[in-house]
Amino acid sequence: MIPLPYYLIASTALLSVGIFGVLTRKHVIQILLSVELILNAVTINFVAFSLYIIPERPIGQVFAIFVITFAAAKVGVGLAIILAIYKSLRTANIEDIRLLKW
């Protein structure tokens, strides 16, 4: 069995890369992919802690399924919004999109 700190190190690495991507990228699709990395880090944490703290009850796996479902819905809605903005403005650069700004 893989020790818990290995899962936590992998999750921290994914979280760090995801946060770095959200803060530094300018393209909306890249930001969306970075948010997906953050959600994958959360899923790894749920499953790892569930495996080590309460192995007989799959609570972490149930939460992981909810996170995966949320991520799929987020991608569907997010890509639809990005496509609509791209059709009207012909750009997906976050600095060029001022449609939602007051």
pLDDT value at residue 102: 59
Length of the chain: 102
Domains of the chain: 4-89 (1.10.287.3510)
Cβ atoms of 43 and 67 closer than 8 Å: yes
CA angle 5, 30, 24 (to 5 degrees): 75
Rounded to a whole number of angstroms, the CA Rg of the chain reads 17
Cβ atoms of 36 and 75 closer than 8 Å: yes
pLDDT value at residue 101: 63
Residues in the chain, pLDDT under 70: 99-102
Residue 43, class by beta-carbon neighbours within 10 Å (0-12 exposed, 13-18 middle, 19+ buried)? buried
pLDDT value at residue 99: 62
Distance CA 62, CA 69 (A): 11
Q: What percent of the chain has pLDDT over 70?
A: 96
pLDDT value at residue 45: 95
pLDDT value at residue 100: 63
- pTM as predicted: 0.87
Distance CA 44, CA 50 (A): 10
